[in-house]
Structure 1
Amino acid sequence: MDADREGGRRRTPGRAAYVVCGAVLLAGCASMPDSGDLRGVDSTPRQDTQVRVFAMPPQDDAEPTDIVQGFLEALTSDDPNYETARKYLTGSAAKKWQPGLSTTVLDDGPGADVLRPADRAQSEDTSFTLFGTKVAVVDGQQSYAPASGAYRETVHLVQDKKTKQWRIDSLPQGVVMGKSDFQRNYMAVNKYYFASNTKAVTAPETVAVADPVYVRERVDPMTQLVRSLLKGPTSWLDPVVRTSFPTGTALRSGVSSLAPDDRNTLTVPLNAKAKHVGTDQCKAMAAQLLFTLQNLTPAVDDVELQSAGRQLCSATESDADGEATRGSVKNPEFLYFVDGEHRLVRVPAEAVAGGPKAQPVPVPGALGEGDKDLRSVAVSRDEHMAAGVSLDGTSLYVGSLVSGGSLGDPVLVSSGKTAGDRLTTPSWDTEGDLWVADRNPVDPRLLLFKEGAGKPLVVQTPGLDGRIKDLRVAADGVRIALVVEKGGKQSLFVGRIEREGRAGDPQSVSVRELRATTPDLEEVTTMSWAGDSRLVVVGREQGGVQQTRYVQVDGSTPEGPPPAALTGVKEIAASEDDEMPLVAYSEDGIVRLPSGAQWQKVDADGTAPVYPG
């Protein structure tokens, strides 16, 4: 399950099949020889994500190889607290081991070599080296990050002098498993917090920001997720968001599991840290919970918060939507693109989504009715303003979408010598500010225009290694996706937008802690936000062909099929509202991808499609 909803519906993971893995039943699970070097400790073959896996405790008189094998199998089981895995450890090791510190994901299941074989007649200890190729690491905050390089860790076993049973007495912290086992065991979900220094120009509410994490899918994910929400945002997102829960808020002592009642109401008993919150704050807390739980099943339609034995407040989904705005529920009115005459035109969103067909018409104002030839455009999120880059890439124009409006002089002119060294496609954020990058090699800059006008603010980009080729600001206004080019290779990064100064009037803006989201691609042709924490990317691996895929902002791959194949894609547009279809500019002009269908032509002569943003 990926962290963004599809088609506006909650997904319902079922419970249909069960598999038992352990020391007794090994078919289809990790395999390991009875003696000698332990090689090919394979990851469990990819199964339906509904499969349950149960661990088996160690058998009497099990050899060291069996102990290591059984322990590795137990790490991939659905045992909530890894109690069975601890049975393979000595008492002291079981107390010291902290499986929740991290989950290391390998390309395949961990292999193992005997570091020092045990001669049962002469030795009471032995060691094994676990090895593999790292794919990702999920940290103690449940945050996913791509990883690479070799994994090598040592486990040491001893034989108890009295019982003669072998047990592991030294091992790495956290857990390790293959990629397919990780996909079967874990699910991606969004926690939600509020942007700390951003407000939407289209509504008085604050902006909700998705914070993707991974939880164990069959180990009470609802309770895991609530606990994670209460602990606060992940460290990467923390500088730009806030939580409505008072510091130290947690579930009331003794509460081990949460579940909605038969009316789909979830009661959440909190500790005394929350007992003094007012109604407004409590409603905001409830909104965070409802946004966070929307992907889980059974459905949660409303929540009731309690503390110190009394009800604090209750809230429904409509109450939550009144507390904050989210990109994934903001419906665009139009799809926009540049027509064959290089003017800005639009088509009603309902027509793009499969409603009655409509012909594209020029937008009101100078960008649609004037004489400026455009190559790329962006429309503000309230659809009142638009920005366009001239056909040669040198000039950026901004105008209102009002009939008869004048355009005036460009707000920015690039002096790059070639079209590829000039201005990128612009992008509007939720505050109504306009972002664009000047690719001039002599003076490459990322720029921000307050409300699309005035003198541009130079955005600081510490850690940026390369030149910005393309950019898109997320609907939440606190994250930005950048395609960065260096040495002929393009990479997709997501950075955190930090604003110094008052909301709406920052004194400085910076993009920090860029995170790679597609480390396996050497070419990124185009990209767009496609959900609260998801992007759609068109690119190519080394030696491969062009492909279109979804990626999460943390670099993980969401579950589900990629978009239908389309050749010759030059630009792609998606809406954070996942009920809107993908739109692309390809060899066939402007095309759209309705749900469950193939690509369909919208306009043969059009280019540069965009949704608002």
Structure 2
Amino acid sequence: MGADRGGNGVRGRRPVRVVVYAGCGALLLAGCASMPDNGDLRGVESTPRQDSQVRVYAMPPHPGASAAEIVQGFLEALTSDDAKYETAGKYLTDGARKAWDPYRSTTVLADAPNSVALPSEAKGGSRDAAFRLSGGKVAKVDVRHAYEPDAGEYSGSVHLTRLKSNKQWRIDALPQGVVMGTSDFQRNYVSVNKYFYASNGNSGSGRPLRTVADPVYVRAQVDPMTQIVRALLKGPTSWLDPVVRSSFPSGTELRNSDVSLAPDDRNRVTVPLNDKADRVGLPKCRQMAAQLLLTLQDLTPTGVDEVEFQKSDGTQLCVLNKSQAEGVAAHGTGEHPGYQYFIDHEQRLVRMPRENSDRKPEPVPGALGEGGKKLRAAAVARDEGSAAGVSADGRNLYVGSLVSGGSLGEPVVQSQGRTADDRLTTPSWDARGDLWVADRDPKNPRLLLLEKGAGEPVVVGASQLDGRIEAVRVAADGVRIALIVEKDGKSSLQIGRIQRSGPDDPRGVFVFDPRSVAPQLEEVTAMSWAGDSRLVVVGSEKGAVQQMRYVQVDGSTPLGTSPSALANVKEIAASEDEQLPLVAHSETDGIVRLSAGEQWQKVVQDGTAPVYPG
């Protein structure tokens, strides 16, 4: 439990939190100096929100504190950077301290929890008091550090007793885990991607293994590197677990509970493991190290250059550096797009260099760019060797190679929907080279997959989806799919998990456990993958204007700025390579793109349906 600021019902002296800037190790009020051991400390009414270098230290209960002050002091202590919640534990009785598990979960509320005294609040010589904690739920972080959006009202109770030994109030019953407001959560926690290998990956093919990002939240100022390594060793979060694997043997942990990991002067991290990893061979150990190097890449300004694993006896197990890791594991497909694509005013598929904004778009080689078929949407394979196009009326899906002189042949999918909006969506290619598209025909709505973009379409099992699919985007890792789903006039962004019945059997393909990742948006207009675990979304809240924002696949909002405002956006395209610009279709401005640190720049006035490969 924790608080952004004081809750209703609590009066009297405020508990003290000491704010320290980690960068200079200094008291906020004292300048750059060491922590004083005497003198006055000023209470902090609310946690600083934006500066990641701010550290907050809580103070223990003062003698004679009232029951209300004990409750509030405890809530404040839990928002501090006390590594083991030792200060928070001083507000508890011995029994409560032993029974309470602060690591079980973190409940995130819109604001600080309100604490209101119940009728049994201590009066006179009574030895008992009780408080009700309440607030609006935003999310919950579970024991594996996984974030999940939540809603509804939070309610918890705290009971206090007056100790016989010294007449001081202490908490003797409380909920497990912690609870805090959003602003304190944003200061206390940081999102980090753990990396695992896709279960249906290309092991043995000679190519780097495909990795899947698994975002989790760890405490930002409490040895985050060690936290994330421990989280990686425990395995993937429960939602992702069915479609990924870890190279670490089951039961692998850090050798000692008091290990603290940090890069040395060579930017190497040495990781001592227990005996579960002692017999790991070199290929497996290199896979383990590649997982860890990817996981640690954003925890320091320059990432970690090298990882060394040690056996339980302290001898070396293996060493791997960043350049070597690139041959073992790759983000998603490991492909780097050469072009951006869209449909021009002649309804042809055209392309432009991904970074050179001076060159004019040109028709793609092959029938989709040089032929006579008019298109409304397209998708380009991740190797940029072939593409799929939806006819202008939305009825037919064609696949052709991006080679001059190539022909299209017959459509690979046909829809029987009565109108264009009841027919085919924009298609999407996955990491295996398979093609996905949704048929929106109200009489026969289907999510379809064509192996290698050809053959008889496979109907993908998606019985857990509640509504009609309006848009499809498969992640580069090939195991997650983003969908815009419409029901009763409202559209939501959902992420599903792709599971196959067997590695060589495309006939059993399913989308399981779809979850809403932008629940605050009532209407989602467009979306695209924009990183290993991030999407860019265009939509609007109830009664609000259209907006563009980034969201994580777990439903959280990444820190940082949203894309610059752009009016009347119909379609958006981003690359999993976060360094490449966004490309959008605006009814006002046509095809435009946005590079980091710049404003939207117009490419052409007449164009629609921008896409990157995928």
- How high is the TM-score relative to the length of structure 2? 0.92
Aligned in 2, Cα 1:47/1:452: closer, same or farther, shift over 3 Å? closer
Cα distance, 1:350 vs structure 2: 2.8
Whether 1:458 and 2:459 are equivalent positions in the alignment is: yes
Distance 1:118 1:540, change over 3 A: closer
Q: Please, which of 310, 324, 349 is the counterpart of residue 306 of structure 1?
A: 310
Q: Cα–Cα, structure 1 residues 496 and 83, in superposed 2: closer, same or farther, change >3 Å?
A: same
SS of residue in 2 equivalent to 1:288: helix
1:557-572 counterparts in 2 under 5 A? 557-572=557-572
Match in the other structure for 2:66: 63
Greater mean deviation of Cα atoms: 49-58 or 136-145: 49-58
Residue of structure 2 in register with 1:490 after alignment:
491
Q: CA deviation at 1:593?
A: 0.5
Q: Which moved more, 1:115-124 or 1:477-486?
A: 115-124
Could you tell me which residue of structure 2 aligns to residue 599 of structure 1? 600
- Counterpart contact for 1:192–1:208, Cα < 8 Å: yes
For the residue of structure 1 that corresponds to 2:250, the secondary structure is coil
Work out the percentage of aligned pairs sharing the same amino acid.
63
Partner-residue secondary structure (3-state), 2:355: helix
Say if 2:190 is the partner of 1:187.
yes
Give yes or no for the alignment of 1:81 onto 2:89. no
On the 8 A contact 2:337/2:613 being kept in 1, the answer is yes
Output one character per residue of 1:418-477: Cα deviation in whole Å (capped at 9) or x when no partner: 111100000000000000000011111000000000001111113110000001000000
Contact 1:18 1:52 (C-alpha < 8 Å) held by counterparts: no
Once the two structures are TM-superposed, the CA of residue 51 in structure 1 deviates from its matched residue by 1.3
Q: Distance in 2 between matches of 1:201 and 1:252?
A: 31
Indicate if the aligned counterparts of 2:341 and 2:352 stay in contact, CA closer than 8 A: yes
Q: Distance in 2 between matches of 1:198 and 1:300?
A: 25
Q: How does 1:282-361 map to 2 (within 5 A)?
A: 282-297=285-300, 299-308=303-312, 309-327=314-332, 330-352=335-357, 357-361=358-362
Q: What does residue 225 of structure 1 align with? A: 228
Moved more, 230-239 or 597-606: 597-606
| 319-328 or 104-113, which deviates more | 319-328
Partner of 1:157: 160
- Provide the C-alpha distance between the structure 2 equivalents of 1:526 and 1:575, rounded to a whole number of angstroms: 15
Deviation of 1:331 after TM superposition, in Å, equals: 1.9
C-alpha distance in 2, partners of 1:47/1:207?
Answer: 35
Alignment pair present for 1:394 and 2:377: no
Rate the CA distance shift 1:456–1:257 in 2: closer, same or farther, 3 A: same
Following TM superposition, by how much is the alpha carbon of 1:281 offset from its aligned partner in structure 2, in angstroms?
0.4
Alignment of 1:81-100 (within 5 A): 81-100=84-103
Give secondary structure in 2 for the equivalent of 1:495.
strand
Q: What residue number does 1:8 align with?
A: none
Q: Is the 8 A contact 1:49 1:183 kept in 2?
A: no
C-alpha contact 1:19 1:53 (8 A) present in aligned 2: no
Q: Which runs of 4+ in 1 moved over 6 A?
A: 200-203
Give CA deviations for 1:589-609 in whole Å, capped at 9, x if unaligned: 110101111000112211111
Structure 2 equivalent of residue 113 of structure 1: 116
Cα shift at 1:310: 1.3
Cα distance in 2 for partners of 1:519, 1:536 equals 14
Unmatched runs of 5 consecutive residues or more in structure 1: 1-12, 30-43
How far is the alpha carbon of 1:507 from its aligned partner?
3.1
CA distance in 2, matches of 1:574, 1:477: 17
Q: Which amino acid aligns with 1:323?
A: V
8 Å contact kept, 2:333–2:477: no
Letter of the 1:465 partner, please give it: D
AA aligned opposite 1:144: Y
Aligned partners of 2:241, 2:278: CA distance in 1, in Å? Answer: 24
Q: What amino acid sits opposite 1:405 in the alignment?
A: G
Inter-partner Cα distance in structure 1 for 2:550 and 2:282: 39
Q: Which has the higher contact order (CA 8 A, sep 6+)?
A: 1
Q: Secondary structure at the match of 1:267?
A: strand
Structure 2 counterpart of 1:28, from 34, 45, 66: 45
Residue pairs, 1:399-410, within 5 angstroms? 399-410=400-411
Q: State the distance in 2 between where 1:552 and 1:200 align.
A: 28
| Structure 2 CA distance for partners of 1:328 and 1:454, relative to 1, 3 Å | closer
- The CA deviation at 1:28 is 2.3
Deviates more, 1:372-381 or 1:299-308: 299-308
Aligned twin of 1:32? none
* Separation in structure 2 between the aligned mates of residue 202 and residue 479 of structure 1, nearest angstrom: 22
**Contact in 2 for aligned 1:581/1:593 (Cα 8 Å):** yes
Q: Is the 8 A contact 1:153 1:172 kept in 2?
A: yes
Measured in 2, the distance between the counterparts of 1:564 and 1:248 equals: 46
Within-5 A mapping of 1:267-282: 267-282=270-285
Which range is displaced more, 172-181 or 597-606? Answer: 597-606
Give, in whole Å, the separation in 1 of the partners of 2:239 and 2:112.
Answer: 29
Match of 2:299, as an amino acid? L
The answer for unaligned runs of 5 or more in structure 2 is 1-20, 30-39
CA shift, 1:48, in A, is: 2.2
Partner of 2:430: 429
Structure 1 segment 579-590 matched on structure 2, within 5 A: 579-586=579-586, 587-590=588-591
Give the aligned residue type for 2:595. Answer: P
Distance (whole Å) between structure 2 residues aligned to residue 187 and residue 502 of structure 1: 35
Counterparts of 2:308 and 2:258 in 1: how far apart (Å)?
15
How far apart, in 2, do the equivalents of 1:380 and 1:602 lie?
23
CA distances 1:241-274 after superposition (whole Å, capped 9, x unpaired): 0000011001012542011110001111100100
> 1:526 aligns to what?
526
Q: Report the equivalent of 2:471.
A: 470
Name the aligned partner's letter for residue 418 of structure 2. Answer: K
Question: 2:232 and 2:361 mapped to 1: Cα distance?
Answer: 44
Deviation of 1:174 after TM superposition, in Å, equals 0.3
Shift of residue 200, structure 1, vs aligned partner: 9.7
Counterparts of 2:566 and 2:409 in 1: how far apart (Å)?
A: 39
Residue 506 of structure 1: how far off its partner (Å) = 2.6
